[in-house]
Amino acid sequence: MRADRLVATLLLMQARGRVTAAEVAAELEVSVATARRDLEALSTAGVPVYPQPGRGGGWSLVGGARTDLTGLTSAEATALFLLAGPAASVAPPVRSALRKLVRALPDTFRAEAEAAAHAVVVDSTRWGERDRVRPERVDTLQEAVVRRRKVSLEYESRGHTRTRRLVDPWGLVDKDDVWYLVAGTEKEQRTFRVDRIVEATVTDLAAERPAGFELSREWERVVDEVEQHRSLLSATVLISARLLPVLRDHFGRHCEPIDTLDDGRVRVRVAAPMAISIAEKLAGWGATVEVVEPPSVRAELARLGAELVESYGRV
């Protein structure tokens, strides 16, 4: 895209002060004629780019002029606005930042960037539900992560036991509206559910952060570890191909298609911590799903079915 080349050419001139058409051509991997046309286009557009004839000449930014260009390509700018646009509707600082960024972009990028900012609306409320409330301590913890300050937490465990500890906040994760804090403690890395944090106080103590720490990579490790505990038992089931997406919605990443039978049904492997966990998710499917193995899941389904017959069979 020519607009990308023009930006790259201008940034190159800012870095070097003076360039020749041959240098631009070599840097951007275009012909010398194309580079010369781009330089002339910048000058024609009003950018203070002027040729200097003679030996040792070239093209220069007059007076070492600078621009407010961000260095983003058209695709990068569009991607950024697609990502940040939905947040701008509820966060004034994001909205203000995007307005400033739009003014810094070249004219050729602005239309697509502004369109991208309004292309997506995020409505986190499912039909029939009340608005999901963002935990009030997220902002406090986020500030601590950015400023790299230790946080004093009062945390309530699943068993309702409260403890107080001083942690190094490394990052926050929003997983399907459940927020988690990944942090370092005096013993090891820990993951805390934000909705179980009773109190959070940002201290003036500098937080330590491991060299090379990447939140996304660490979260993947946490997820893999949790999922291993959640998938201790697997079962093989047969289901109509049209219902496979629904089964995937029930089991998430623990739903793995194996093959397709001659009758059109799909053989699928599902997993959960216990046989009863799998049976409970499949009980409502009735005869639309067939459990091939293991016997423990079949037995749990039979038991659940007998209980339902006993309770409602006479109705």
The CATH number that domain 231-312 falls under is: 3.30.70
Distance of CA 293 to the CA centre of its chain: 36
Q: What does the alpha-carbon distance between residue 1 and residue 220 come to, in Å, rounded to a whole number? A: 36
Crossing angle between the packed helical segments 107-117 and 92-104, to the nearest 10 degrees: 160
- Is 248's pLDDT higher than 80? yes
pLDDT value of residue 130? 58
At the topology level of CATH, where does 2-64 sit? Answer: Arc Repressor Mutant, subunit A (1.10.10)
More confident residue, 221 or 111: 221
Per-residue pLDDT tens digits for 144-203: 888 899 999 999 988 888 999 999 999 888 887 788 899 999 888 899 999 999 999 999
Rounded CA separation 229/212 (Å): 27
For residue 100, pLDDT beyond 70: no
Nearest-angstrom CA–CA distance, 9 and 23: 10
Q: Does this chain's domain 138-212 share its CATH topology with 231-312?
A: no
CB 145 within 8 A of CB 204: no
**Rounded mean pLDDT, 87-104:** 66
Domain ranges (residues) in the chain: 2-64, 74-117, 138-212, 231-312
Distance of CA 66 to the CA centre of its chain: 34
Extract the tokens encoding 270: 């599902």
pLDDT at 87 over 70: no
CA atoms within a 13 Å half-sphere pointing along the CA-CB vector of 119: 14
Q: pLDDT higher for 246 or 252?
A: 246
At residue 287, does pLDDT exceed 70?
yes
Mean pLDDT of 91-107: 66
Residues 6+ apart with CB under 8 A from 185: 165, 167, 168
Amino acid 56: pLDDT: 63
Residue tagged 């799998």 (tokens): 278
User: Is pLDDT above 60 for 127?
Assistant: no
Note the pLDDT of residue 310.
85
Confidence of residue 55 (pLDDT cuts 50, 70, 90): low
Check residue 192 and report its DSSP letter: E
**How far is it, in rounded angstroms, from Cα 25 to Cα 312?**
81
Say if residue 260's pLDDT is above 80: yes
- CATH 2.30.30 describes domain 138-212: yes
Q: What is the CA radius of gyration of the chain?
A: 29
Pair 208, 184: CB distance under 8 Å: yes
pLDDT tops 70 at residue 125: no
- Residue 162 · residue 155 · CB < 8 Å: yes
Q: Are 153 and 141 in contact (CB under 8 A)?
A: no
